[in-house]
Copies of this chain bind each other. A is one copy, B any other.
Amino acid sequence: MYIGSAQGFRLERENEYGTPEQNETVREIVEAVRREGDAALLRYTERLDKVKLRPEELRVTREEIEAAYDKVEPDFLAALRQAAANVTAFHEKQKRTSWMDSKPDGTVLGMVVRPLKRVGLYVPGGKAAYPSSVLMNVLPAKVAGVPEIVLVTPPSTGGREGIDPYILVAAAESGVTEMYRIGGAQAIAALAYGTESIPAVDKVCGPGNIYVALAKRAVFGAVDIDSIAGPTEIVVLAEDCADPRYVAADMLSQAEHDEMASAVLVTTSEELAKAVEAELERQVATLPRREIAEASLRQYGAILTVADMSEGLAVVNKLAPEHLEVIANNPMELIGGIENAGAIFVGPYSPEPVGDYYAGPNHILPTNGTARFSSPLNVDDFLKKSSLIRYSREALHRDAAGIATLARHEGLEAHARAVEIRLEGGEAK
C-alpha cells in the first residue's frame, strides 16, 4: 500500500485485451455460431460447458422459474423486491420523451425517442453470478420500455442441477422475458447474430470472463454493447471529521471484490490517515475474503495526504474513480468541484454498499478512469433517437440558396439539385 503525499501516487491498471490465442479462439467460436447457428452453439456448449443439450432444451422453462421461487429465502426475496422498487423509482426519473417543435413557417423539427426492441444480458456462471447485477442491468432496460429482454447464463451455473435459483428469481422479478442456458463467447455470438432457437438482439450487456469480453468486442458494430468493465475502485475523500472505522470498512468493501480492485483514501488529516491504516489492519483480519482484500490493498491501495480539500478534489478528478465517498464537514459544498466520478456517496451514512444494492442509482459504473467521459448505466443506454425534419414549401424556398451554396462548395451538385428541383414546379405533384 502506498502511504504518503498525493504527488507520488499513480494508479495504473491495464485493460484486458487478451492474448493472441484467446482472440483467435473467440474469433473461431463467433464465426462458427454466426455461420452455423444452433449446431455450433450446441457443439461449443458440449465442448466447453460439458453439457449436451438439444435445441428445445436451451430455453429455461416456466416450471424452472416457479421452482426457483421455492428455493430462495423469504428475507432474500423481500430485500430483492425492495431493491428493485428503489432502482425502478430512480431510473423512472431518467426517462425521456419524444418532442416536436412546430414553427410559424410550417416547419416541424423534432426528436423521436424509442426503446431498443430486444436486449441481451449475459450473467456469468459460478460465484460471479450476482442477483444484484441482474436488477441493475435489466431494470433500466425495463424502464426504457424494451419489450424483449433476454438473459443468458452458462448451463453449469449453480452446479449440475441447473441455473442458480437466485438468478432466476432476480431475472423474473426484474422483468426478463426469455432465458437461455448458454454461456461464453458462443452465447455472445448467438445473441449478436441469432440462431434458429434464439433471435438476434440489438444490444448485449453484462460482465463476463476474458472470452466473453473479447466476444463482445468482436460483435460490436453488428450490435451495440455496454462498456467493458475494468477492475473496481473506490476513493474516499475525507476530512478530520471522518470516523476511521467507517473509512476502513468502506475501503475493504471494495478491496474484497478482487485482487485488482483499488481502495484509496485522500485526506487532509494526518491523524485520520494513521487511524485508517490501523483500522484497515484490524478489520481485514476477520474478513472471509481476507487474502483477496490484502492483495488488493498491497498492490492498489493508498492513503494519500493533501494540503487542503482543493488539492484533494484535484487528486480525485485525476483518478476519476468509479466510486467516490465524500466525508467532510460540509460535503455538499464540494460536489461542484467533482468533475470525474461514477457515483458520489455523500456524508457518513452513505457507505458504498448502499449504492451497490439498494438506494436506487445503478451500480454499473465507469471504471479505470473512464468516468472522465462515461456514465453509470442508465435508461438512455436502452433508448435510441431519430431526428425528424418536416420542411414547408415556404421554408424550402427561403433556405434553398443557402443550402445550395454549401452543397456546391463541397462539390455535391446532386445535393443542390435535390433542393432546386422543388423550386421549379410550384406545388408538388
Contacts and interface: CB of A to CB of B under 8 A. Distances in A.
Q: Is the contact region of chain A dominated by helix, strand, or loop, or is it mixed?
A: mixed
B131 A387 contact: no
Interface in A387-429: 387-393, 395-396, 399, 401-403, 405-407, 409-419, 421-422, 425, 428-429
Interface string A351-366: 1111111111110010
Contact of A203 (B245, B362, B373): B373
A169 to B, nearest CB: 11
Nearest to A348: B428
A298 to B, nearest CB: 16
Contacts of A253: 412, 414-415, 417-418
B203 A335 contact: no
A255 to B, nearest CB: 7
A380 B96 CA distance: 12
B79 A202 contact: no
A130 to B, nearest CB: 5
Contact of A348 (B250, B338, B414, B422): B422
A171 interface: no
Contacts of A108: 346
Interface stretch (A63-71, A172-180, A182-190, A287-295): A287-295
A313 interface: no
A75 B413 CA distance: 17
A92 to B, nearest CB: 11
Contacts of A256: 412-415
Interface stretch (A29-37, A39-47, A112-120): A112-120
A231 interface: no
Nearest to A230: B221
Nearest to A166: B409
A215 B402 CA distance: 35
A295 to B, nearest CB: 14
Interface string A331-358: 1100100111111111111111111111
Contact of A339 (B117, B374, B376): B117
Interface in A196-211: 202-203
A62 interface: no
Counting chain A residues whose Cβ lies within 8 A of the other chain, the interface size class is 35 or more
Contacts of A2: none
Given A353-B416, A406-B79, A245 B388 contact: no
A213 B389 CA distance: 30
A41 B65 CA distance: 58
B344 A406 contact: no
Contacts of A375: 383-386
A101 interface: yes
Contacts of A111: 93-94, 361
Going nearest first, the 3 A-B pairs with the smallest beta carbon separation are A361-B387, A348-B428, A79-B402
Given A345-B389, A356-B407, A361-B389, 15 more contacts: A109-B359, A131-B406, A221-B368, A223-B373, A289-B413, A341-B386, A346-B390, A349-B391, A355-B387, A357-B402, A358-B399, A365-B387, A371-B384, A376-B385, A376-B386
